[in-house]
Amino acid sequence: MTGWLLRSLAALVLMLGAALPADAQSLESALSPGPLIRDHAKAEGECKNCHVRFDRAAQDGLCVACHKEVGTDLRNKTGWHGRQKPAACRSCHTDHRGRDMHIAEFDPKTFDHRATDYVLREKHAAVDCAQCHVAGKKYRVAPAECNACHRKDDKHKGSLGTKCADCHNERDWKDTKFDHGTTRYPLTGKHAEARCGDCHKSANYKDTPDTCIGCHRKDDKHKARLGEKCETCHATRAWTGTTFRHDADTRYALRGRHREIKCEACHVSGNAYKDKLGTSCVDCHRKDDRHNTTLGNECAACHTEKTWKETGKFDHDRSAFPLRGGHVKAECAACHKSARYKETPSDCLSCHRKDDKHDGTLGTACADCHTDRDWKASRFDHQRTRFALRFGHAVPPLKCGDCHVDHKTYRQAPLDCLSCHRKDDKHEGQLGTRCESCHAERGWTTTRFDHAAARFMLTGAHVRVECKSCHRNARYRDAARECIGCHAKDDRHKARFGEKCESCHNVRDWRLWSFDHQRQTDYRLESSHAQVACEACHVKVAPKGKASAPLDRTCVSCHRRDDVHDGAFGLRCEQCHGPAKWKQVTNRQRLSRHLPTERAADARPARTAT
């Protein structure tokens, strides 16, 4: 009965609210179910802050308007509220139950953290809420980064950043899953079996050396004499084994007795890795040289690595100058003038100077053209020169002598077209020597000239004009660039308006013209003047470089024969006459009032001027 009465009174208040707003509000306050919670106390008495008359569903919008963070979660479907099924706010949060009422109560023991943005796994599921959620602060502000809770557990002191999850997991903080292959130093061989502490002496991993000598200095039996690049010989499979291959890793392959001696027998310097050794026999066997260097330092030409005392037949093919063709039949003394064989020159000209018909003009690289089978044979490849032969130049009937008129001066053969094609130059040298600008190697008569690159670009009707229409002869540069040069016969004005035809005409069509007297001159044509032909006023021939001869802009200069006053009224005809019609007087009143005075005053000067 009491509930029914309260609802009836509330309905009555709503109906009378428009007529008695103040009383209705007081009555609403009086009918309130109870005091609001402490955080909502400031809205008590103002029901419209949380309620909308006759619309219970609108209450959720008012809640979200105040609780903006919750509204953001609902829109983005994140957080606790965003992940729940849609429901009215009052279904979980009921107010009007007193100042100390908690309208967001929940049981931490039964709360399902999977409905939030941070799912609790492994050991996190057993952690007490208070360890992450600080009392007095909203649950939503709890940090999600590992370092926020585990800063005291970070033995790296922040040196590895805050992405703890890259190595640690939620099962056990000390259990790591770090993949060393993602670093600049992937672990291979024995390194994969080593413990972290063997290399990382401290928790600051970034300071760990990545050189072999950084960890294996005590294992270096060479005492740093071979440098610090241990990986040159040793591998990660085992420190005791060596991977250094003298034959493949150096420019000196070990053969014969050289394979049996120890490294220290040759590498005797203090820093054998940096100090390079000589690779010639005499560097180690100088005391064994019974020839006292008379045969040079190429001991291997006769001696072998099997034993120093054993000598074999010299194989010239193993030298820097293998014998081929006609050289095989030559006697040793023909080239080796002394016992110091190494000093024997290897260039062709040293032995074949008498055979050089070019007198040294082509240098000493005879092998570019001649072969060792026969001195007279030639294998010259013109494509490797500065002037590659293409198209018409590569036609078989063309002989070397056509361009190289002197066999002694092949290098001095000119590269410009005109040197060979002067007789074909119909331009008489007037266009210079760059014939390739227009002509091609496919055929001298074929041209490819681009007129757009010239000083006179072809546009409009000029594009369709044949070359000979403007270029009367082969001296193309002599062709006129002015309109009058080609269109003198088309000039109906007989040069009266000068030679700047482009002032009125354009390249689309000679008959088209667009001269605007109003914009291009300082004398505007009005009324009858706009209908007068140009030649009616411009009767004189224009000076050179001008579009027209200078005109006197006074009326009498053109209308002297129309002056019935015979100059009695002076030269200022425009005071009475207008451009519309000469016989029409526009100021008769002034004429009748001042006629005697003006005739007397202006008669003599007007006639004197005339």
pLDDT digits (tens, 9 = 90+) for 248-257: 888 888 888 8
In contact, 518 and 524? CB cutoff 8 Å? yes
User: What share of the chain in percent tops pLDDT 70?
Assistant: 87
Least confident of 138-152, 329-343, 419-433, 478-492: 329-343
Question: CA–CA separation, 610 vs 604, rounded Å?
Answer: 10
pLDDT band (50, 70, 90) for residue 15? very low
- Give the SS3 label for residue 127: coil
Question: CA–CA separation, 410 vs 412, rounded Å?
Answer: 5
| Bridge partners (DSSP) listed for residue 54 | none
Location of structure tokens 């019935």? 564
Chain centroid to CA 364: 46
Residue 159's pLDDT is 76
Rounded to an integer, the average pLDDT of 41-65 is 86
Nearest to 92 by CA among 104, 83, 81, 78: 104
Location of structure tokens 């056509």? 402
Q: What is the residue type of 327?
A: H
End-to-end CA distance of the chain: 127
Location of structure tokens 């291979």? 188
Question: CA–CA separation, 197 vs 177, rounded Å?
Answer: 15
pLDDT digits (tens, 9 = 90+) for 131-170: 888 888 888 888 888 888 888 888 887 777 788 888 888 8
DSSP string covering 533-554, please?
A: -HHHH--SPPPTT-SS-----S
Is residue 591 scored above 70 in pLDDT?
A: no
CA distances from 331 to 327, 337, 345 (A): 9, 11, 15
CA atoms within 13 A on the CB side of 115: 9
| Bridge partners (DSSP) listed for residue 238 | 235
Question: CA–CA separation, 444 vs 395, rounded Å?
Answer: 13
Question: CA–CA separation, 566 vs 92, rounded Å?
Answer: 115
C-alpha Rg value of the chain to the nearest Å:
55
pTM here is 0.33
Report which of residues 212 and 546 the model is more confident about. Answer: 212
CA distances from 222 to 259, 263, 266, 268 (A): 19, 11, 14, 12
Tokens matching residue 406: 């002197």
Report which of residues 314 and 96 the model is more confident about. Answer: 96
Chain centroid to CA 18: 72
Rounded to an integer, the average pLDDT of 39-67 is 86
Residue 338's pLDDT is 67
pLDDT band (50, 70, 90) for residue 115? confident
Question: CA–CA separation, 254 vs 304, rounded Å?
Answer: 12
Helix (H) or strand (E) segment spanning residue 15: helix 2-16
Is residue 409 scored above 70 in pLDDT?
A: no
Residue 24's pLDDT is 45
Tokens matching residue 551: 């005109």
Is residue 608 scored above 50 in pLDDT?
A: no
pLDDT digits (tens, 9 = 90+) for 348-400: 888 888 888 787 777 788 888 888 888 776 777 788 788 888 887 877 767 77
DSSP string covering 557-608, please?
A: HHHGGG-TTTTTT-S-GGGTB-SS-TT-BS-HHHHHHHHHHHHHHHHHHHHH
Q: Pairing relation of β-strands 443-447 and 439-440?
A: antiparallel
- Torsion sign over Cα 460, 466, 467, 469: negative
Residue 609's pLDDT is 29
- Domains of the chain, by residue range, sit at 482-551, 552-610
